[in-house]
Structure 1
């Protein structure tokens, strides 16, 4: 169960960690505009725009992962398999962010898909 909780914490805080490269790119664009950060982010290009997209996608991924894991915990279905699926999801998300920043679009999509398969696998095992 502890592994599942740790994975949940990582996924919940991942958008904050993914903000670091975005903040760096905003700072390189004449300084971080704390009064109008969203306007500044809209103007980013290249790595900055990809960092923004990766940051935003972390929130989107949380909306799939968190309810799934909470359901697994709520129905007392935590097992070694669910723990491994949670670890796989976290690893996929980390690689996904790295691929997004590196502009490796094919690998990024591949790891996004694998991560989503881990979510589907949770439901498969819940319904089995």
Structure 2
């Protein structure tokens, strides 16, 4: 039995899957030890609690939703690039760049930097297109 190589791009898929959890953690930061009746996180009704949040907590939750939205295209692009035998070095670089841009995107979203956030979102989207076509000949 031969095990496939777990490439750097595949590790980036794992990181991308974890980024929404990071966003959720940011949104909930500092509220776990506060009673729900006093504004603390309510694990019995987390979506309703998140919907009542404002400022950076609301933006972290929105970043979580957007990060979930970006995942399918990234996963598919990496898998397709591997299937069509893209240059592994190029694919790895693009995947790391995508992850770095998504981390910056999250920071800009939470930090309320809308214009810069939109630019970074677009860059990550175009990098993802580059991943998809990285093996195109």
TM-score normalised to structure 1 length: 0.90
Q: CA RMSD in A?
A: 1.8
TM-score, with length taken from structure 2: 0.85
Q: Which runs of 5+ in 1 are unaligned?
A: none
Is 1:79 matched with 2:88? yes
Partners of 1:35 and 1:41 lie apart in 2 by 12
Aligned pair count? 128
Give, in angstroms, the shift of residue 79 of structure 1.
2.0
1:48-127 matches, within 5 Å, as 48-127=57-136
Higher share in helix: 1
Per-residue deviation, 1:46: 1.1
What is the CA–CA distance in structure 1 between the aligned matches of 2:42 and 2:28, rounded to whole Å? 10
Q: CA contact under 8 A between 1:26 and 1:41: conserved in structure 2?
A: no
Dislocated runs of 4+, deviation >3 Å:
25-29
**Which structure 2 residue ranges, 5 or more long, are not aligned?**
1-5
How big is the shift at 1:56?
A: 1.0
